[in-house]
Amino acid sequence: MAEVKIKKILCAYDFSEESKKALEMAFFLSESIKDCELTILSVYKPIPTPVGDFTGATDSFLEDNEEAMENSKKKLHKVVEDIKKNHKIERCNGIVVMGNPVEEILHAIEKEQPDLVIMGNRKHGFKKGILLGSVSERVSANSPVSVLIAR
Higher pLDDT pick, 2 / 70? 70
As a whole number of angstroms, the distance between CA 9 and CA 17 comes to 20
Q: What is this structure's pTM?
A: 0.84
48, HSE (Cβ side, Cα atoms, 13 Å): 4
Which residues are 10's β-sheet partners?
Answer: 39, 117
pLDDT of residue 134: 86
As a whole number of angstroms, the distance between CA 40 and CA 75 comes to 12
Neighbours of 72 (CB within 10 A): 20
CATH architecture of 8-150: 3-Layer(aba) Sandwich (3.40)
Strands 8-12 and 37-44: parallel
Q: Which residues contact 57 (CB under 8 A, 6 or more apart)?
A: 49, 50
* pLDDT (average), residues 115-134: 69
- Asked whether the predicted pLDDT for residue 15 surpasses 70, the reply is yes
pLDDT of residue 130: 44
- 8 Å CB contact between 11 and 115: no
Least confident of 3-17, 48-62, 94-108, 117-131: 48-62
- Any idea where the domains of the chain sit in the sequence? 8-150
pLDDT of residue 55: 55
- Asked whether the predicted pLDDT for residue 123 surpasses 90, the reply is no
